[in-house]
Structure 1
Amino acid sequence: MKLSDCIVPQGLNLVKYSGREFVDKLGLEIVQGVVGSILKGRNVRDLTESLTQRRILLVSTSIIITYLKGLSSFEKFEETLNDLVKQNVRMKLTAEEKRYLLWFIGLTGKSIQNVIRGTMLENYIDIFDANLSEICADIEEAYGDITLQVNYNEQGYFLRWRNLLRCLLAVGAATLTIRGSEKSLYGKTFEKFVLGSVLTILGFDHIDKSDVSKSDKVFWLSERLDKRESDATLLIKAGVGVRFDIGFIGKGNTEVSLDKVSRFERFMDFGKKTYATTTIILVDNIGTNSRIATMAREIDGYILQMRETYWVYKLATILNERFGYNSEILNYTKEQSLAYIDKMMSNVNLNSFFGVEDTIEFDE
């Protein structure tokens, strides 16, 4: 029997998944509701935090059950667990199985890079084992001994400090992994959904960039250039284009927002035409004293805060005043525009915004 055989399948399935799998698990209707809320000023982090907490707790409980299964399957399990992990990660396991087992020695994907830094895993385990024993002794001295009786599957277990510390460390490593991966997952997934949805609602057609047969009122997502990348490119009419960059960036990350202001070049080629382009940047929040808005104006661009209730209406106004494009949403008041967004959002096909690159492995 291998240690990996003890891993609870329900927990293993939550170690990693792609944006497409996330939508499948949650349901398209719920995700559309989240996107619609973001278009009306809600924060994606607020909307997804409950999902993150659920994943953390489901994985954490699976870690405890996996540990109990190990106690019943291996003699002197806690004393040999470090060696069992070392042996198993050298076997032909899936990336998810290896990551799961490494949590039991306190390692995440990032800590493998930053802590071990190419040194032998054996050296890390020796130091880890001594450190865990020392911490366990300190805790026993501070709080006294402890014994917990746990019953699972009609079998009883007695857990002491070292057992508990092992499980707590694994849960902590799993939490770091999940928090980091969820941040990346929600960012990459909802950035496309928000851009694709708002441009569709404003009356533009989503196309593949390779389709040069259309050049009026169309957009594509995730354009990669030699040096720069735009999250969406909009062609309003012949010779006129807009590049969008989006990030769920708060006012505590202004240096990232500042970089976005001067990211894109002023001209681009599409088909046989050259387009003069304007930059529009979407961020979650801007600090009160930020210079970003001024800098955006200096490069003849715009920056919008998605925390504002009517940011979609403001975007439509910019496209109208700057390029003469008249979206139907401007036929309503700002207040009425929220109901219009709800109505139009129900017709948006989020699946069309997925690309090949959306099947990605996320890490903290």
Structure 2
Amino acid sequence: MEQPPPFEITSLTALMSEGSLDLLDTNGPELIRRMGMETIRTVVLDVLSGRNLRDSTEMLTRRRLAALNTATVAMLLKGSAIQSDFVEQLPAIAERILKQGRLSKSERWVAQWALGLTGKASQNVLRDDASLLAEYRERYTATCEQVIRESLTEFGQLGGKIHLGDELATELSWKFMVYLLGIVGAQTLTIRGSEKSVYGKLFERLVLGSLLHILSFRFTSSDGPKRFEREFWLSSQGERREGDATALWQAGRGIRFDIGFIGRGNPEISLDKVTRFAREIELGRSTWYMATIVIVDRIGRGSRIKELARELDSNIVQMSMTYWPQEVAQILNHKMGFEHQLVNMPRSEINDYLKTAMKSVPLADYLP
């Protein structure tokens, strides 16, 4: 196999620092490390108090993006120091890397960004077919060149030099800016999509676990009951699809929860959720009646979804309501005679009550 010449760049992540590469890989444990457990506790309390999850995590996402943006500038400067026409050849370099196969997620992401692609766009535009990369790269380059010519005509020549420390420098041009901003755009879409998934999966468990702990249910770490009374477990999965949490109140009576953090509850999806769980299940040697509560971020104005859910003997609760944990407690009280001080607590006392109760929630027990 013919070896590339020494100056040919075969990895874009090799041009990035270790700290920058860490920013590309965020999972639940890494997110916890970055945020710290007390910050996570504050975010959970915010959600229980009616704040949107994205409001509480937006600055963390913005910080990660800003750090990746600066790392991208440094990558372009380092690449230019190794290969004088690095910026001009960047789409071709990215194409060559993507054709290698068996890439790390970080390498694949950065190479896709250099072509203005996200993972989803790669699936949709290229249909995950590497043989289409060359044609796409030619069209992408031609589009960028057209924008560069139009920018020269409309705005004039863009010039100057960008320096990184005392050693690295490259010419500033419309080509540099167009390719840089193309990377930043794809980068932003990818990171936001990735964090939405990570935050959602992590905080579904933490919010439901905290809520049920505050309501005095005991957590069982196994995927099923132990005491069959006033206990709960997370991410249960039975024969008829999955619920995010299952709680048992007293013999023969329990409730399933489904939670989602993204925007207005889609009426069709939400109604599907309230009907998809079996109303009766076998636990131990007994048949249990199982109610359903679907928790959504918010419900669209004028929506009849709550009334429709009640007609199906289920309930939908929106987290945008300041006192939604009390609504859950009241539903449990109505459905199965659940008793808890939150059921009839004056609203003026709820925030302080939740703040105090959150201090004793064993969040680490609910981590995936």
With normalisation by structure 1, the TM-score equals: 0.92
Alignment partner of 1:37 is 2:46: yes
Alignment partner of 1:231 is 2:240: no
Q: 1:14 aligns with which of 20, 23, 35?
A: 23
- Alignment correspondent of 1:82: 91
| Residue pair 2:240, 2:277 contacting (<8 A) in 1 also | no
| Residue pair 1:216, 1:235 contacting (<8 A) in 2 also | yes
Q: 1:113 aligns with which of 114, 123, 132?
A: 123
Q: 2:155 aligns with which of 128, 139, 143?
A: 143
Structure 2: runs of 5 or more not aligned: 1-8
Percent of counterpart pairs with the same letter? 38
Alignment-mate amino acid for residue 146 of structure 1: L
- Alignment correspondent of 1:316: 329
Deviations 1:115-174 (A, max 9, x none): 111442222212222222222112212222111321112133211101110000000000
Deviations 1:275-323 (A, max 9, x none): 1111111112112311211111111111111111111122212222321
Deviations 1:64-119 (A, max 9, x none): 11111101111321232223223333166422122122211111100110011144
Matches within 5 A, 1:1-364: 2-4=10-12, 5-89=14-98, 90=100, 93-119=103-129, 120=131, 121-154=133-166, 155-210=168-223, 212-251=225-264, 253-330=266-343, 332-355=345-368
| Residue pair 1:282, 1:305 contacting (<8 A) in 2 also | yes
Aligned positions, number: 355
Q: Which moved more, 1:55-64 or 1:127-136?
A: 127-136
| Residue pair 2:240, 2:276 contacting (<8 A) in 1 also | no
Q: CA deviation at 1:252?
A: 6.9
Structure 1: runs of 5 or more not aligned: 356-364
If asked which structure has higher relative contact order (CA below 8 Å, sep 6+), I would say 1
Q: CA deviation at 1:31?
A: 0.7
With normalisation by structure 2, the TM-score equals: 0.91
2-side partners of 1:37 and 1:314: how far apart?
Answer: 16
SS in 2 for 1:169: helix
Q: What RMSD over aligned residues (CA atoms) do the two structures have, in Å?
A: 1.9
- Alignment correspondent of 2:6: none
SS in 2 for 1:214: coil
1-side partners of 2:104 and 2:300: how far apart?
Answer: 44
